[in-house]
A = this chain, B = another copy of it.
Amino acid sequence: MWPVEGLPEVRAGDDLAALIAGALAEPLHDRDVVVVAQKIVSKAEGRVVALSTVTPSDRARTMAVESGKDARQLEVVLRETRAIVRWERGVLISETHHGFVCANAGVDRSNAGAPDSVVMLPVDPDASAARLREEIGRRSGCDVAVVVTDTFGRAWREGHVNVAIGMAGLPALLRYMGQHDPQGYELRVTEIALADEIAAAAELVMGKLDRHPVAILRGLEPPASRETAHDYIRPKEKDMFR
Interface mask (A100-132 → B, CB under 8 Å = 1, otherwise 0)? 110010001111111100000000000000000
Which of A19-27, A55-63, A138-146, A227-235 makes up part of the contact surface? A227-235
Most chain B CB neighbours (cut-off 10 Å) among A112, A157, A209, A231? A157
User: Could you say which residues of chain B place their CB within 8 Å of the CB of A172?
Assistant: 158-159
User: Could you say which residues of chain B place their CB within 8 Å of the CB of A194?
Assistant: 159, 204
State which of B157, B192, B220, B233 has its C-beta within 8 Å of the C-beta of A233.
Answer: B157
Q: Nearest-CB distance from A195 to chain B (Å)?
A: 9
User: Could you say which residues of chain B place their CB within 8 Å of the CB of A100?
Assistant: 156
User: Could you say which residues of chain B place their CB within 8 Å of the CB of A242?
Assistant: 156
B209 lies within 8 A of A201 (CB): no
Cα-based distance from A183 to B113 in the complex (angstroms):
7
A155 lies within 8 A of B158 (CB): no
A193 lies within 8 A of B159 (CB): yes
In the complex, whether A148 has a CB less than 8 A from a CB of chain B is: no
Q: Nearest-CB distance from A110 to chain B (Å)?
A: 4
Q: Nearest-CB distance from A185 to chain B (Å)?
A: 5
State which of B154, B193, B205, B210 has its C-beta within 8 Å of the C-beta of A155.
Answer: B154
